[in-house]
Amino acid sequence: MNPNLDQLMSIFRWLLSVGGPVSSLLIARGIPPEQVTSVTTGLLTILGAGPLIINFIWGMFAHTDKAKLQAVEAMPDVKKIVAVPNAADGVGEALNDPSRSKVVAS
């Protein structure tokens, strides 16, 4: 899989936000990290990282060229999508699928 720019930016945003929720929970509770048991630390880590992991996985699937093309095809105001004949990552599949009449070759 070759990630596109949207996917790379999603990864970058995810990496920037990993430590925040866990650190905020520890600070807000007033518990020094040394006193927190491994169970509590593990639980806080899972709860804090869960939404971030889901966002990361969703971003990898939602930002593919194929997914973006499907989203644009579903827009009622879009009448035609012009793609290059040798397109890849789902766009080429759309060009070869006769049921997807909005996608045409240039």
pLDDT at 82: 93
- Does the pTM of the predicted model rise above 0.85? no
pLDDT in tens, 61-90: 888 888 888 889 999 999 999 988 888 778
Reported as a single tens digit per residue, the pLDDT across 22-69 is 666 766 777 666 665 555 667 667 766 777 787 788 888 888 888 888
Contacts of 21 (CB under 8 A, 6+ apart): 47, 48, 49, 51, 52
In the chain, domain spans: 5-62, 65-105
Instruction: Show the DSSP H helices in 18-90 as ranges.
Output: 19-29, 38-62, 65-73
Please tell me which of 13-17, 42-46, 92-96 the model is most confident about, judged by mean pLDDT.
Answer: 92-96
Give which of 3, 13, 5 is closest to 56, Cα–Cα.
13
Top pLDDT among 56 and 15 is at 56
Q: What's the burial of 38, exposed, middle or buried (CB within 10 Å: 0-12/13-18/19+)?
A: exposed
